[in-house]
Amino acid sequence: MDSKEFAYARQKFNKTQKEMAELLGTSLKAVHSYEQGWRSVPAHAERQLFFLLSRMSGLNKGQKSCWVIKKCPSELRKQCPAWEFHAGKLCWFINGTICEGTVQKNWQEKMKICRTCEVLSSLL
């Protein structure tokens, strides 16, 4: 998540920088740093922001599950945690999902794929 996306999320939540710091359990200085681009947004904060964006009313109405969008074959669906936990609209939130036929090794690899997918990009 870059500084512009972070600022967009804060604006979408209608939060001051202080309120955003409280929401993320971090310091006001950290929020300043994220918005100025001096520090990168840590994975746990990025994940929380995307989750909260997804819970805002109306943002994902009518959105299809990831396995429908990606046309995943049934043998892969059955192995995927998003399918197992009926979380096709939150697949980006769950580690161990099978995207593009394989499980990604870490959050950064996963997010590279997720950012090109309409499931996550519909939040931004």
Q: Specify whether 70 is located in the same domain as 97.
A: yes
Any domain includes 13? yes
- The whole-model pTM stands at 0.78
**Segments forming the whole domain that contains residue 10:** 3-55
Q: Note the pLDDT of residue 58.
A: 60
Q: What share of the chain in percent tops pLDDT 90?
A: 47
Q: Could you tell me if 44 and 71 lie in one domain?
A: no
Q: What is the pLDDT of residue 60?
A: 60
CA distance 1 to 44: 11
| Residue listed under structure tokens 């994902």 | 60
CB atoms within 10 A of CB 27: 12
Residues 104 and 70 in one domain: yes
The encoded tokens of residue 98 equal: 């099978």
- Mark whether 47 and 86 lie in a shared domain: no
pLDDT digits (tens, 9 = 90+) for 72-115: 999 989 999 999 999 988 898 898 898 888 888 888 888 888 88
Number of domains in the chain: 2
Mean pLDDT of the chain: 89
Same-domain check for residues 76 and 111: yes
At 39 the pLDDT is: 94
66-to-36, 60, 69, 90, 120 alpha-carbon distances in Å: 33, 12, 5, 8, 10
CATH code where residue 39 lies: 1.10.260
